[in-house]
Amino acid sequence: MMPPEESLAAPVLRTTGLHRRYLLPRRALFGPRDSVHAVNGVDIAIPERGSLGIVGESGCGKSTLARLAMGLEPPSEGRVEIRGQDLAQASGPALKLLRRAFQMVFQDPYGSLNPRHTVGRIVAEPIDALEKPADRRQRVEEVLRAVGMRPADLDKYPHEFSGGQRQRIAIARALVTRPALIVLDEPVSALDVSVQAQVLNLLRDLQEQYGLAYMLISHDLAVVDYVCRQVAVMYLGRIVEEGPASLLFERPAHPYTQALRQAVPSAAVANRRRRRARLPGGVPSQTRLPPGCAFADRCPIAEARCRVEVPRLREIGPGQRAACHLA
């Protein structure tokens, strides 16, 4: 889906018609149960060595999408395929084999490392659970070196390291199974700005070196632009626009992408003042999605049609697709 022509090899990750609803507790004893529609029909595909950035404001379902892609929770509808294999169908040894192909890096490097385990044990966790290789120690030392840590750090505990170093350890853990895909959920947003650049550079180098595919989730357009070739913009559980990063940020077609672009803080005060008037209203409730385009209420150019008919993703330029009637 992402590349214009479908390549012969199956993409590392493909989701089709992915939905995820969360049931809410009943408000009355026998009342109906509402549900939050966190992911609402998402189709993405990431080819081998590809990189897809997913941007959107908080609550748009991007982290849920990451967890669905990782098989950490089951989709309500739709399917997730890793290298052409349905994740929901795999179990036992086949699932273990499949799991080596995709790993994850979490947002908060303080919460994602067990404080009671040594660095060596943390980094080795995926191979201990999935492969039990004979060259365990070499593998761990190799990935530690690859992320810029020393093998001497093996016996230390996470609390002895800074946030940036901890995130490097988390990246080493994701690398140790030699995966084809790493899902990065806001990998630098918990880090100092000065450290962010180092980690982003590391991610770029590693992609080159190991031939990785990335699915990078971020609210920061600059981060996505720096690491990813392809970008998808999410709004209320749907992808509203996708395309090559360069194109999408230069000529955004969807009014929401345009608003996101202009929301990037810049030093020019004049710019900031104009942005304020840009997006009125708030994100609609996810329990009762409005009919038609979910963005219509905040959209500066919405027409009557937008409030009735859900826009589908359609090709609006070479490689660029948008879900907007007016794009």
Partner 1 sequence: MSIAADDGPGMVARAFRHRSFAIGAVLTGLVIAAALVSLFWTPYSAIELAVPRKLRPPSAEHPFGTDHFGRDILSMIMVGARNSIVVGVVAVAIGCSIGTALGLLAAARRGWVEELVMRFSDFTFAFPAILSAIMITALLGPGTINSILAIGIFNVPVFARLARGAASTIWARDFILAARAAGKGQARITVEHVLPNILSIVIVQATIAFALAILAEAGLSYLGLGTQPPLPSWGRMLNDAQTFMYDAPYLAVFPGLAIAVAVLGLNLLGDGLRDLIDPRLARKR
227 vs 229: CA distance, rounded Å? 7
When binding is defined by CB under 8 A, the residue of 14, 99, 139, 321 that contacts partner 1 is 99
List beta partners, residue 21: 37
317 vs 327: CA distance, rounded Å? 10
Binding segment (CB under 8 A) for partner 1, from list 39-47, 156-164, 202-210, 273-281: 156-164
237 vs 65: CA distance, rounded Å? 9
Q: Which is nearer to partner 1, 123 or 203 (CB)?
A: 123
Task: Supply the minimum distance, in Å, between the C-beta of residue 20 and partner 1.
Answer: 16
The reply on whether position 291 binds partner 1 by CB under 8 A is no
The reply on whether position 70 binds partner 1 by CB under 8 A is yes
Task: Supply the minimum distance, in Å, between the C-beta of residue 117 and partner 1.
Answer: 8
The reply on whether position 103 binds partner 1 by CB under 8 A is yes
When binding is defined by CB under 8 A, the residue of 126, 244, 255, 292 that contacts partner 1 is 126
Binding segment (CB under 8 A) for partner 1, from list 101-109, 232-240, 270-278, 290-298: 101-109
The reply on whether position 26 binds partner 1 by CB under 8 A is no
86 vs 80: CA distance, rounded Å? 6
When binding is defined by CB under 8 A, the residue of 19, 67, 79, 178 that contacts partner 1 is 67
When binding is defined by CB under 8 A, the residue of 1, 13, 60, 130 that contacts partner 1 is 130
Contact letters (x/-) for partner 1, 167-206, by CB under 8 A? ---x--x---------------------------------
29 vs 199: CA distance, rounded Å? 50
Spell out the SS3 assignment of 71-129: CCCCCCEEEEEECCEECCCCCHHHHHHHHCCEEEECCCCCCCCCCCCCHHHHHHHHHHH
Q: CA angle at residue 103 from 17 to 90, to 5 degrees?
A: 55
Q: Show the DSSP H helices in 152-243 as ranges.
A: 163-175, 193-210, 221-227
The reply on whether position 286 binds partner 1 by CB under 8 A is no
Backbone angles phi and psi of 12, in degrees to 5: -60, -45
Q: Which residues bind partner 1 (CB under 8 A)?
A: 67, 70-72, 95-96, 99, 103-104, 106-108, 111-117, 122, 125-126, 128-130, 157, 159-160, 170, 173
